[in-house]
Amino acid sequence: MSNVSYYTAEGLKKLRAELNHFRDIERPKASEAIAEARDKGDLSENAEYDAAKEAQGLLEMKIAKLENTVANARLIDESQLDTSKVLVLSSVRLKNKNTSMEMTYKLVAESEADLKTGKISVNSPIGKGLLGKKVGDTAEIIVPSGAIKFEILEITRG
């Protein structure tokens, strides 16, 4: 069964680069490690050969998984998104009503989330709580430390 995932152009480019790295760099290294271990003699008692074969098997599983992900990836057309409410790829400026602190997050697909750069997953508690909200709305979001109320100050794309 295919599992369609949605990506930004940047996220899809990163995914393809990772796949190419595994195919073009890591796969030849794994083959080389097997060849070197094979040259060391009796394969029935060669732990290095067994380890190299196991590492190659794990690498091939990663490659197959990435190939499947790329094959089922769909690019999000940002120009077609509604800018009146919070959706995936929205940049949202929020005000924490408890602390009056303002912050900006960009809602992205789970695979592209990176809190250090302000990108949060639409599947995270905050992401889920913001989806569909409009400027001026208050989103009450339950996080591990309790409930937080955020006021939506601004919604932009990109």
* Amino acid 5: pLDDT: 75
pLDDT at 2: 55
pLDDT above 50: residue 129: yes
Dihedral angle over CA of 28, 30, 33, 37, nearest 10 = -130
| Residue 143 near residue 124, CB atoms below 8 Å | no
Domains of the chain: 5-75 (1.10.287.180), 78-157 (3.10.50.30)
The tens digit of pLDDT for each residue in 3-62 reads 777 777 888 898 999 999 999 999 999 999 988 888 877 767 778 888 889 999 999 999
For the whole prediction, is pTM greater than 0.75?
A: no
Average pLDDT, the chain: 87
Per the model's pLDDT, the better-predicted residue between 3 and 136 turns out to be 136
Task: For residue 63, give the H/E element and its range.
Answer: helix 47-71
Instruction: Give residue 109's pLDDT band: very low, low, confident or very high (50, 70, 90).
Output: confident
Contact 94/104 with Cβ under 8 angstroms? yes
DSSP string, 17-41: HHHHHIIIIIHHHHHHHHHHHHTTS
